[in-house]
Structure 1
Amino acid sequence: MRLNKFIADAGVCSRRKADEMIKEGRVTVNKQEAVIGMEVSSGDVVRVDGEKVKINTNYEYYMLNKPKRVICSSEDKFGRKLAIDYIKSKKRLYTYGRLDYMTEGLIIISNDGDIYNHVMHPSKKLYKSYIAKLDKDITDDHLEALKHGVVIDGRRTAPAKVKIVSKREIRIAIFEGRNRQIRKMLETLGYEIKSLKRVKVGELTLGSLEVGHYRPLTEDEIKYLKNL
């Protein structure tokens, strides 16, 4: 088995991220520094950042309604609360489809590394829907601008799907995953976001799940993600 697939199957990260970690010298096989493209077998000892990893035989899949001021990462040097801390599990879990520090809502948490490519890879064009509350009424012109794409960080965004919830609240769906994208799109048009919440990822919906609570994904939801 290719080393990057082994690391992904162990739930550590995606294959692409595994290759980055190998390049950075963070992966060893049988105490020797790993190289891109190498093969490993069941008898090999693979370590990432010094920690032994092995392929999971049992995967876990959860949906969390992430609160504000929570980090979507495996660790934080400032000691801030992590999304994975909310899940009661003995598995080493990871978040898929990140939300920024001040955004709340639906986040997928699992130890199945292949989920990364299904949820986050741009080629999937998987729409994520958010509810944004603004500091002032949104204009028709700006709604149209969002639908056609606006320029942030020197590059135009892909068209968004936008619906008005009220004069100062919109539902917006995007499939790109650029850093703080929705916040930047609205700030470019002159709005301050009072709150931002993700309510849907593809066909997975947050529903009535309360902030700070989580639930296992259903069999149908897991099958849906794997078939994307």
Structure 2
Amino acid sequence: MTERKKITLKAHTGTETPAGRDKPHRQPVRGAGSAPRARLTAAQAEQQRAERPTHPNEGKPRSSRPDDHRPAARPRRDQAPSHPGTLRPPRDARPPAPSRQDAPVTAEPRSPRPPVTPREEDGRVRLSKLMSERGLASRREADEWIEQGWVRVDGKVVDELGTRIFPEQDISIDPLARTQQAERVTILLNKPIGYVSGQAEDGYEPAVTLIRPENQWNGDRSKRKFARHHLRHLAPAGRLDIDSTGLLVLTQDGRIAKALIGEDSLVEKEYLVRVQYQAQPEADNVSAIFPEADLERLRHGLELDGHRLKPTKVSWQNEHQLRFVLREGRKRQIRRMCELVGLKVTGLKRVRMGRIALGDLPMGQWRFLRTDERF
């Protein structure tokens, strides 16, 4: 039989050197506070409780204890606070979140705005408009002068566009503005047939294309020579149909344009109109057969576009030609007036505007308005 040996295991004390090791074994070094706590016996625990000092709230109901100095209970994971100091209720105790459709839409209250007083109520008007009404300048000229600092209101310079003032305030203009205004030209043209007054249309050239050095009338007594800047902002003051001839005024001066074609213009325009009586087209003497009552209607009593026309001076110039003098200029006014009384216009020529007559100015030529001439 094989002899069995009895092996006895002994606890290692750490003082002996285990077999196979040259150095003694070291116990692991524990950090501060990591030493194992000694288990207390029941008697030792009872003795510690007896020696603990009594708390002032010991024995009182929990609801009556002051919680000013009591630490807040540590929330569970499902009760994590949304921000410090606030406990979130349990997930199953929260009300369901409203959907976007069920959620009421509440507009944030806005602070009330102060009441705005309409500008018309304070009695002030735009400075440029007041200057135009007083005849000091056109609206465009007024804006230019204000930007240049040439306008004073009650002695103070006003250089901001859109400024509003009271109608009774005093307005003065710097002499430099008057000098610049004097340099603006006005041109008198004898317009031929086939040219339009304003911008080009239907392939027809505007009358301003005739303002060239070679077309300046030799009888021009203004002693002014043509320059390219004279064409800048040169605009017609009153239209003349493509089939009409005669005096056409083109100007850079807004005051002249307003005086000639403004709504409250009192400047007379004189025309010579050749007509044909529709009832008797072959008549040699239209003036002899045309009814006097219809002539009176031409003078006063007609309406165009629902508007009653102002009184007009109408008289016979010869057997086929009428002389019209009127103070308004609606589109194709004379031609439409004649149609209402059975007349057909075969020729129309403007011979005067205010005190300025066409005179001997040849067809297709032009001249400057002299400084001593006024409309």
- TM-score, normalised by the number of residues in structure 1: 0.71
What runs of 5+ residues in structure 1 fail to find an aligned partner? 6-13, 20-28, 30-36, 40-54
Compute the RMSD of aligned alpha carbons: 3.0
Give yes or no for the alignment of 1:175 onto 2:299: no
* Residue correspondence of structure 1 range 1-228 to structure 2 within 5 A: 15=139, 38=162, 58-73=183-198, 75-88=199-212, 89-90=227-228, 91=230, 92=232, 93-136=234-277, 137=286, 138-221=290-373, 224-225=374-375
Give the 3 Å change call, closer, same or farther, for CA 61–164 of structure 1 in structure 2. Answer: same
Paired letter, 1:128: K
Structure 1 residue 218 displacement after superposition: 2.0
The Cα offsets for residues 160-213 of structure 1, whole Å up to 9 and x where unpaired, read as 011211122110011012111111110111111000111110111011212111
What runs of 5+ residues in structure 2 fail to find an aligned partner? 1-125, 131-137, 148-160, 164-179, 213-226, 278-285
Q: In 2, Cα distance between the equivalents of 1:210 and 1:4?
A: 39
Q: SS where residue 124 of structure 1 aligns?
A: coil
Does structure 2 retain, via aligned residues, the 8 Å contact 1:66–1:106?
yes
Give the 3 Å change call, closer, same or farther, for CA 154–65 of structure 1 in structure 2. Answer: same
Q: In 1, Cα distance between the equivalents of 2:347 and 2:207?
A: 18
Structure 1 residue 122 displacement after superposition: 2.9
Q: In 1, Cα distance between the equivalents of 2:239 and 2:184?
A: 20
Paired letter, 2:247: L
Q: SS where residue 264 of structure 2 aligns?
A: helix
Does structure 1 retain, via aligned residues, the 8 Å contact 2:251–2:257?
no
Paired letter, 2:197: C
Q: In 2, Cα distance between the equivalents of 1:165 and 1:87?
A: 32
Q: Which has the higher contact order (CA 8 A, sep 6+)?
A: 1
The Cα offsets for residues 80-104 of structure 1, whole Å up to 9 and x where unpaired, read as 2111111124121111111122111
Q: SS where residue 122 of structure 1 aligns?
A: coil
Q: In 1, Cα distance between the equivalents of 2:347 and 2:324?
A: 13
Q: In 2, Cα distance between the equivalents of 1:168 and 1:57?
A: 43
Task: Extract structure 1 runs of 4+ deviating beyond 4 A.
Answer: 1-5
Structure 1 residue 77 displacement after superposition: 4.8
| Structure 1, 193-202 or 140-149: larger mean CA deviation | 140-149
Q: In 2, Cα distance between the equivalents of 1:146 and 1:83?
A: 30
Q: SS where residue 343 of structure 2 aligns?
A: coil
Q: SS where residue 193 of structure 1 aligns?
A: strand
The Cα offsets for residues 10-53 of structure 1, whole Å up to 9 and x where unpaired, read as xxxx638x99xxxxxxxxx9xxxxxxx636xxxxxxxxxxxxxx
* Identity across the alignment (%): 33
The Cα offsets for residues 122-158 of structure 1, whole Å up to 9 and x where unpaired, read as 3122110000000132332222111123122222211
Q: In 2, Cα distance between the equivalents of 1:57 and 1:207?
A: 24
Does structure 2 retain, via aligned residues, the 8 Å contact 1:152–1:188?
no
2:41 maps to none
Does structure 2 retain, via aligned residues, the 8 Å contact 1:122–1:175?
no
Does structure 2 retain, via aligned residues, the 8 Å contact 1:149–1:160?
no
Does structure 1 retain, via aligned residues, the 8 Å contact 2:187–2:368?
yes
Give the 3 Å change call, closer, same or farther, for CA 80–121 of structure 1 in structure 2. Answer: same
User: Relative to total residues, which structure has the larger strand share, 1 or 2?
Assistant: 1
- TM-score, normalised by the number of residues in structure 2: 0.45
Structure 1 residue 57 displacement after superposition: 6.9
